[in-house]
Chain A
Amino acid sequence: MKKLLILGAGTGGTIMANKLRPVLDPLEWDITIVDQEEVHYYQPGFLFIPFGIYNRNDVIKPKRDFLPAGVNVEMSGIEVIEPEKSRVKLDNGKTLEYDYLIISTGSKIHPEETPGMLEGGWRQNIFDFYTIDGAVSLANFLKYWEGGRMVLNIVEMPIKCPVAPLEFVFLADWWFTEQGMRDKVEIFFVTPLPGAFTKPLAAKFLGNFLEKKNIRLVPDFSIERVDPDKQKIISYDEQEIEYDLLVPIPTNMGDEVIARSGMGDELNFIPTDKHTLQSKNYENIFVIGDATDLPSSKAGSVAHFESEVLFENILRAIDKRPLLPKFDGHANCFIESGFGKGILIDFNYDVEPLPGKFPLPGIGPFSLLEETKMNHWGKMMFRWMYWNLLLKGAELPIEAQMNMAGKRRVA
């Protein structure tokens, strides 16, 4: 029997298991997927929890419900990957050998990377919303908060879902307005980037939104430490910002197992070919989703687009055919902007987000780089799509590669 091993049954790993099981002959190929947790979290839903729109139950389902029959499931931590020996050791004592390995161990936050963040204020008046526990405790805090200065701080790039921090402040503006206390809250958006977003057109467009919503943008701020006693954040070049409520997006890193296996960069992300998704160092290893070091967004939509290219390339590798360099960095992100509206951006490695209609050129129903009610429904519909289509590896009505049709070049 030949063996295909998938590490991580989150977005990317689950999609790959669902795509590959039906096409790899069960008499020839054994497929195993490993994860340490029984629960699958719909991470995009974490954004809505602090504002009481979703609760814990709205974003969790059993992982096994989404894994196809005929795939062996190992519920265990992964101790170490030994790429030279093509085998993986699990915490439960088992050693799994493989012919091909797909790594989809994702990324997670590391608040301990910022001195002071975990000292005193953590989950008192410092909350993340990138974990379920953070999002739920922030919801409890906000319920009783009487106002003051709320500072959202992106600690360093890259982070998964780079638009989520913007969505958070947009929703906060809406929510505080609904609570009748917007005048009691100052909102700061503090980022190491030179603007609201990385790509110029979108940065300008989204920057205007911050201004319109009376959210103060502080760019070029690289945090060195938190002073939880004086309630301020301090940058490397000694700018200081006081807060009453701090919502940081802590440093995002790949899983420690990548570091333990000596396979990652400084942030435990795995050097990966940006077009074929093959590991740069090992021919029989492929990487998908947040675990890669690709200069693309880390998002569920990206993992989905990657999955189509990876699917083809795994089959080609098995058939000893050259890999196709077809992944173009395509990302597609709905940005919830508050008051029942949303913005949509669609871009890749080379083309920044442009205005236009999506997915049908000239028709939509979604509008690119524009705020509409329809885009908000797109965002809310994404959860249904995620559970029912995306994870199952179904074809979506969107091409893996970005399409210029429907987009307008802006001079």
Chain B
Amino acid sequence: MPVKDFNGKQVQVDDEGYLVNQADWDEELAKAIAKEEGIEELTEAHWKVIHFMRKEYQEKGTAPSIRRLKNTGGIPVKELYNLFPGGPAKKAAKIAGLPKPQGCV
């Protein structure tokens, strides 16, 4: 497992950069991952998504889909794409410290 350094903090990530240990996550780490993903600043709107995702993950064991973010989280899909350009479900999960959402087969 690769180890990655975010602002001096060493954390284990998988091959695609998703956190291995959920316990490593904190808001500072989220900001650092976001920077790597090209999001300079996490706004209140970003945090709303991140916290919703973490809550869902704790309750259900999987990261919510875009459809669930819309229906239950009340976040319009368009806004998700603006907040996390180029793949909101995956990017937001990464920043929220969750495993890669199970794309389906």
For chain B, which range describes its interface: under 10, 10 to 19, 20 to 34, or 35 or more residues?
10 to 19
B71 at the interface (CB under 8 A from A): yes
Q: Which residues of the other chain, A, contact B86 by a CB distance below 8 angstroms?
A: 220, 237
Given contacts A220-B86, A266-B65, A266-B68, A295 and B81 within 8 Å (CB-CB) = no
Residues of B22-75 whose CB lies within 8 A of A: 65-68, 71-72
Q: Which residues of the other chain, A, contact B104 by a CB distance below 8 angstroms?
A: 157-158, 162, 198, 295
A384 at the interface (CB under 8 A from B): no
Give the contacting residue for A236; candidates B65, B67, B71, B78; CB below 8 A: B78
Count of interface residues, chain A, beta-carbon cutoff 8 Å: 20
B8 at the interface (CB under 8 A from A): no
A224 at the interface (CB under 8 A from B): yes
Bound-complex Cα distance A267 to B70 (A): 12
Task: Please tell me if the beta carbons of A266 and B71 are within 8 angstroms of each other in the complex.
Answer: yes
Most A-side CB within 10 Å, residue of B77, B87, B104: B104
B7 at the interface (CB under 8 A from A): no
Q: Which residues of the other chain, A, contact B17 by a CB distance below 8 angstroms?
A: none
Most A-side CB within 10 Å, residue of B65, B86, B105: B105
- Beta-carbon nearest neighbor of B79 in chain A: A236
Q: Which residues of the other chain, B, contact A193 by a CB distance below 8 angstroms?
A: 103
Bound-complex Cα distance A198 to B104 (A): 7
Task: Please tell me if the beta carbons of B103 and A198 are within 8 angstroms of each other in the complex.
Answer: yes
Q: Which residues of the other chain, B, contact A347 by a CB distance below 8 angstroms?
A: 105
Task: Please tell me if the beta carbons of B105 and A199 are within 8 angstroms of each other in the complex.
Answer: yes
Give the contacting residue for B67; candidates A266, A297, A331; CB below 8 A: A266
Bound-complex Cα distance A52 to B33 (A): 52
Chain B proximity of A111: nearest CB distance (Å): 16
Chain A proximity of B68: nearest CB distance (Å): 5
- Beta-carbon nearest neighbor of B72 in chain A: A266
Bound-complex Cα distance A236 to B80 (A): 9
A296 at the interface (CB under 8 A from B): yes
Task: Please tell me if the beta carbons of A198 and B81 are within 8 angstroms of each other in the complex.
Answer: no
Give the contacting residue for B105; candidates A236, A267, A297; CB below 8 A: A297
Q: Which residues of the other chain, A, contact B10 by a CB distance below 8 angstroms?
A: none
Q: Which residues of the other chain, A, contact B103 by a CB distance below 8 angstroms?
A: 157, 193, 198
Task: Please tell me if the beta carbons of B77 and A296 are within 8 angstroms of each other in the complex.
Answer: no
Give the contacting residue for A237; candidates B66, B72, B81, B102; CB below 8 A: B81
Q: Which residues of the other chain, B, contact A296 by a CB distance below 8 angstroms?
A: 105
Bound-complex Cα distance A158 to B86 (A): 19
Q: Which residues of the other chain, B, contact A220 by a CB distance below 8 angstroms?
A: 86-87
Residues of A276-318 whose CB lies within 8 A of B: 295-297
Give the contacting residue for B81; candidates A162, A236, A265; CB below 8 A: A236
Bound-complex Cα distance A331 to B78 (A): 34
Q: Which residues of the other chain, A, contact B68 by a CB distance below 8 angstroms?
A: 265-266
- Beta-carbon nearest neighbor of A299 in chain B: B105
Bound-complex Cα distance A296 to B81 (A): 27
Q: Which residues of the other chain, A, contact B102 by a CB distance below 8 angstroms?
A: 295
Chain B proximity of A344: nearest CB distance (Å): 15
Chain B proximity of A110: nearest CB distance (Å): 12
Most A-side CB within 10 Å, residue of B71, B77, B78, B103: B103
Task: Please tell me if the beta carbons of B87 and A236 are within 8 angstroms of each other in the complex.
Answer: no
Residues of A230-244 whose CB lies within 8 A of B: 236-237
| Complex A-B: 27 CB contacts under 8 Å | A157-B104, A158-B104, A162-B104, A162-B105, A193-B103, A198-B104, A198-B105, A199-B105, A220-B86, A222-B66, A222-B81, A224-B77, A224-B78, A236-B77, A236-B81, A237-B81, A237-B85, A237-B86, A266-B65, A266-B72, A295-B102, A295-B104, A295-B105, A296-B105, A297-B105, A331-B105, A347-B105
